[in-house]
Amino acid sequence: MACFTLGFLEQLIVWLIIVGAIVACIRLLVPWIEGLVTPIIGQIIMIILWAIVAIMVVYLIFGLLACLVGAGPPFHAIR
- Which sequence spans correspond to the domains of the chain? 9-67
Report the C-alpha gap between 38 and 71 in whole angstroms: 47
pLDDT tens digits for range 17-70: 988 898 889 889 888 888 888 888 888 888 998 898 888 888 888 877 877 777
Report the C-alpha gap between 25 and 4 in whole angstroms: 30
Structural contact between residues 60 and 68, judged by C-beta atoms closer than 8 angstroms = no
Q: How confident is the model at residue 72 (pLDDT cuts 50, 70, 90)?
A: low
pLDDT (0 to 100) of residue 77 = 56
Report the C-alpha gap between 37 and 19 in whole angstroms: 26
Report the C-alpha gap between 55 and 60 in whole angstroms: 9
The single-letter code of the amino acid at 38 is T
